[in-house]
Copies of this chain bind each other. A is one copy, B any other.
């Protein structure tokens, strides 16, 4: 079979695929511009999912399967894909290790006064007179209960936290002490010491967290957003922190990225800004192509049991 990669893969991963599937023909490109010439001839496409358009799908007349090696698939031309009956799979869950680590790292950065510790080290100041909090035993509310939410909840349980999961359905998920539906959230916000948003970008989650929600949180609450920037209005977070509705916000994603130099987030002491890197991992390609390889074996044997099949009608 002919497989075309429009995502630039490291040399070692290319080699690994060739060794694993010696009877198949891999065409490795650095981007769609380079790949377009091969498009009409291939059955399988490996892509980040942001380089496809309707005309390109039409051009790829033999295409039967698109493997998106990213977690989100919101930029695919689903109508055309659906019309053609093309199978789509994703690398959903690929970020669960780095992103769940990020959550606990930044919470402890705030609670264990990490910035103060680093500043003291720099200035060679020996002091034990630092008011530190513990994350152990606290209550964490996680908006989004997919693969990543479940992973965060699992680690939270190791820190003896109470975990509340918020999702569309509110159905019961492992590692959550309580699962509630989106519409019930307001009743539980006052219990939450930590509020973690891992919401994807959908019409339903746009502007999900509003000022009224921050008003319902305890004053000592810490809000962490690693999902999508548009799940919360930047203005509302800023106001909530400045008016002391919550004590701290840690933001890795923003409505506008890169975050402009003159944005007040950078200067606000009780907002910690990181630069959309909670998912950064040295194991990205290994994990993505492990999913591809597993799926490819199943694809070849006509198994229906592939990993992360995307619903092309719903678009996720």
Residues of A whose CB lies within 8 Å of any CB of B are 97-98, 100-102, 104-105, 108-109, 111-112, 114-115, 117-118, 120-121, 124-128, 130-137, 154-155, 157-160, 257-259, 261, 266, 272-277, 280-283
Nearest-CB residue, chain B, relative to A261: B124
Q: A105-B109, A128-B277, A130-B280 are in contact. List 4 more A-B contacts (CB 8 A).
A: A98-B132, A125-B275, A126-B258, A126-B259
Partner of A134 from the list B111, B130, B283 (CB cut-off 8 Å) is B283
User: Given A266-B124, A274-B121, A275-B128, A105–B108 Cβ distance below 8 Å?
Assistant: yes
5 tightest CB-CB pairs across the interface, nearest first?
A: A158-B158, A126-B258, A105-B108, A97-B136, A155-B158
Name the distance in Å between A49's Cβ and chain B's nearest Cβ: 18
Q: Which residues of B contact A120 (CB under 8 A)?
A: 275
Q: Which residues of B contact A282 (CB under 8 A)?
A: 131-134
User: Given A158-B154, A275-B126, A112–B101 Cβ distance below 8 Å?
Assistant: yes
16 residue pairs from A and B, CB less than 8 Å apart: A98-B112, A98-B136, A101-B136, A101-B159, A105-B108, A105-B114, A117-B274, A117-B277, A126-B259, A127-B275, A130-B277, A132-B282, A133-B282, A134-B282, A155-B158, A157-B158
Q: Which residues of B contact A105 (CB under 8 A)?
A: 105, 108-109, 112, 114
Q: Which residues of B contact A128 (CB under 8 A)?
A: 275-277, 280
Name the distance in Å between A123's Cβ and chain B's nearest Cβ: 9
Name the distance in Å between A120's Cβ and chain B's nearest Cβ: 7
Q: Are A121 and B157 touching (Cβ within 8 A)?
A: no
For the complex, give the distance between the alpha carbons of A137 and B101 in Å: 12
Q: Which residues of B contact A272 (CB under 8 A)?
A: 121
Name the distance in Å between A122's Cβ and chain B's nearest Cβ: 9
Nearest-CB residue, chain B, relative to A124: B266
Nearest-CB residue, chain B, relative to A160: B97
Q: Which residues of B contact A125 (CB under 8 A)?
A: 275
For the complex, give the distance between the alpha carbons of A124 and B261 in Å: 6
Q: Are B101 and A134 touching (Cβ within 8 A)?
A: yes
For the complex, give the distance between the alpha carbons of A135 and B98 in Å: 8
For the complex, give the distance between the alpha carbons of A133 and B101 in Å: 10
Q: Which residues of B contact A100 (CB under 8 A)?
A: 136
Nearest-CB residue, chain B, relative to A175: B158
User: Given A126-B259, A155-B158, A114–B114 Cβ distance below 8 Å?
Assistant: yes
Q: Which residues of B contact A275 (CB under 8 A)?
A: 120, 125-128
Q: Are B102 and A104 touching (Cβ within 8 A)?
A: no
Name the distance in Å between A249's Cβ and chain B's nearest Cβ: 13
For the complex, give the distance between the alpha carbons of A128 and B128 in Å: 34
Q: Are A108 and B104 touching (Cβ within 8 A)?
A: yes
Q: Which residues of B contact A283 (CB under 8 A)?
A: 134
Partner of A114 from the list B109, B159, B257 (CB cut-off 8 Å) is B109
Q: Which residues of B contact A109 (CB under 8 A)?
A: 105, 109, 114
Most buried by B among A114, A120, A137: A114
